[in-house]
Structure 1
Amino acid sequence: MRRSPLLAVCAQRPPAMPDLGTGNEWQFETQALDPGFAAFEVKALASDKPTISIFDRIGADYDGNGVTASRVAAALRSIGNKAVTVEINSPGGNYFEGVAIYNLLRRHPQAIDVQILGIAASAASIIAMAGDTIAIAHNAEIMIHQAQGVFFGNADDMEGAIPILRKLDGAMVDVYAARTGKAADELLGMMRAETYIGGAEAVKAGFADSVMEREAQMPVYASADSPKDKASLDKFLATKGVSRSERRDLYRAMGVSTPRAADPAPATPRAGDEPEAMSRLLQAMTA
């Protein structure tokens, strides 16, 4: 069942969870990120479309790093009544922090547009499902799996852990089902298999709405001193270590003549077509 934009902001939340303590032991994550990787950022608060970047594990670690519900709540308070883009590249982490962040995003009064840039795994995949729209890069992944936890105690304690894990699995299934429309049994099977769902496959399966365009995945930032004609381009490429023969081959492939001090006539039929050729070259240089 697809979410109607802004009409059911508080609906389709995961069901209430039992009291399981602080939740610090519920760290469900892959090893997708480097151990030193950590970033939570709120950008462009003055703009009409602020961005929250979740590039870290979900929940605080022992050093205080990580994306927590309190940090997201503070970011949303700072943003106010504006639409928000949420960028995600996270291996997951604390399930209950993920659920809280999901609910915070769901109740935000304006649209939440999620962009999955790398991986949205485990608890981060729950957060991703909060988007009014979900876009995924063609080479990004969503990963879903069953709840995991570390339990200590006697046989009764071990037996008591099973219904808790089943309840968490059911809550995750509810979230994925609300987004995808898939049957609970199918989703549970995918979770048991620890399924990675990438790009177009995620769109087809209903976990995302669209595959991001290339320009959205890799913005091109034009420099004020970018080369604007053949002579400056030749000088620019030379400073980048491109040999004369390599530059000649490049110009030939583009249909642009090699710059010379005195060239009475274009060397090729398209030598004067500089704007198109320059555009093609700059696109290649920034690809």
Structure 2
Amino acid sequence: MLRSGLFAVRAARPPEMPDLGAGNDWQFETQALDPGFAAFEVKALASDKPTISIFDRIGADYDGNGVTATRVAGALRSIGNRAATVEINSPGGNYFEGVAIYNLLRRHPAAIDVQILGIAASAASIIAMAGDTIAIAHNAEIMIHQAQGVFFGNADDMEAAIPVLRKLDGAMVDVYAARTGKPGDELLQMMRAETYIGGRDAVAAGFADTLMERDAEMPVYASADAPTDKASLDKFLATKGVPRSERRELYRAMGITTPRAADPDPATPRAGDEPEALARLLQAMSA
């Protein structure tokens, strides 16, 4: 499908963000993730289009957890000159780690397709803007706000911090403006209001290009205990709320008969195709 002229403009590579400093004091985030869930993963390296999953705060915490520029750089080196999908569900975190990750993705030689699955807040919203394309689930959110920092010292130190924060705000405005085409003043007002932008509104405002065809707050990957035979597959789909009629249609389309208690492994005209069909289904579940 050909891109429209507007889509092509939005998908153009955004400008590089300037190096404005570093340090763990530059934290600004929203508490969007369950504290028990955190992950940074690189999947399907053997495929033509690997996936980087950013499901954690941006920057390392005191225990060494979090998504850092070093980890993203390593992932991109392992991917090489191939296109990649970057999945995001992150509350943000360290501003300069976010800037570094943004610039790493931006200079990747092949296409970067961003998918916002839950929230891309604060520093994570900057990372999302590096995508050649940005897709967002209709129930996902982008959150933008002004830079924040923790400062210690006397009055002169406090006064010196203000222009630094203004400079950071300006750098973020430039990135959002390059993607959306919105005036800087409008974007700054949105940042001052700490604005959450839902899926459809994000597309309408230019922060994203498309809504994801399949809604998901988090991706579902096939695990080691995924069903590998017809009977366990039927039980698995039933626990996911798939009605029996739909399961039968699925099996019919795959050339697999519906498992029955009296006949756990019935013969079918395409019995030899069942392992291949199951493999295709499991691959689709892990996509």
Give TM class, smaller chain. Answer: 0.7 to 0.9
Any idea what the Cα deviations from partners look like across 1:80-101, whole Å, max 9, x if unmatched?
Answer: 0100000000000000000000
TM-fit CA distance, 1:34: 1.9
TM-fit CA distance, 1:112: 0.1
TM-fit CA distance, 1:129: 0.2
Matches within 5 A, 1:1-287: 12-17=15-20, 19=21, 22-214=22-214, 223-226=227-230, 275=249
Structure 2 equivalent of residue 245 of structure 1: none
Q: Structure 2, unaligned stretches of length 5 or more?
A: 1-5, 254-284
Cα 1:276–1:88 change in 2 (3 A) is closer
Between the aligned partners of 1:183 and 1:2, the Cα distance in structure 2 is 18
Aligned residue type for 2:16: R
Between the aligned partners of 1:103 and 1:79, the Cα distance in structure 2 is 16
Between the aligned partners of 1:166 and 1:45, the Cα distance in structure 2 is 40
Q: Structure 1, unaligned stretches of length 5 or more?
A: 243-249, 257-273, 280-285
Any idea what the Cα deviations from partners look like across 1:151-174, whole Å, max 9, x if unmatched?
Answer: 111111111111010000000000
TM-score, normalization by structure 1: 0.75
Q: How many residues align?
A: 242
Structure 1 segments, 4+ long, off by >4 Å, are 1-6, 215-224, 276-279
2:134 and 2:210 in contact (8 A); partners too: yes
Between the aligned partners of 1:48 and 1:69, the Cα distance in structure 2 is 23
2:139 and 2:215 in contact (8 A); partners too: no
TM-fit CA distance, 1:213: 0.9
TM-fit CA distance, 1:16: 3.4
- Alignment RMSD, CA only? 3.2
Between the aligned partners of 2:157 and 2:191, the Cα distance in structure 1 is 24
TM-fit CA distance, 1:278: 7.2
TM-fit CA distance, 1:15: 2.7
Cα 1:216–1:63 change in 2 (3 A) is closer
1:121 and 1:144 in contact (8 A); partners too: yes
Cα 1:28–1:159 change in 2 (3 A) is same
Between the aligned partners of 1:163 and 1:215, the Cα distance in structure 2 is 41
Aligned residue type for 1:15: P
1:2 and 1:179 in contact (8 A); partners too: no
Considering only CA atoms, is the larger Rg found in Structure 1 or Structure 2? 1
Cα 1:12–1:278 change in 2 (3 A) is same
DSSP-derived class of the 1:214 partner:
coil
Cα 1:171–1:3 change in 2 (3 A) is farther
Aligned residue type for 1:12: P
Between the aligned partners of 1:103 and 1:16, the Cα distance in structure 2 is 10
DSSP-derived class of the 1:116 partner:
strand
1:3 and 1:179 in contact (8 A); partners too: no
Any idea what the Cα deviations from partners look like across 1:174-194, whole Å, max 9, x if unmatched?
Answer: 000000000000000000000
Aligned residue type for 2:18: P
Cα 1:151–1:109 change in 2 (3 A) is same
Aligned residue type for 2:202: A
Cα 1:215–1:196 change in 2 (3 A) is closer
Between the aligned partners of 1:75 and 1:129, the Cα distance in structure 2 is 19
DSSP-derived class of the 1:168 partner:
helix
Aligned residue type for 1:14: M
Any idea what the Cα deviations from partners look like across 1:238-282, whole Å, max 9, x if unmatched?
Answer: x97x9xxxxxxx78xx6x9xxxxxxxxxxxxxxxxx648978xxx
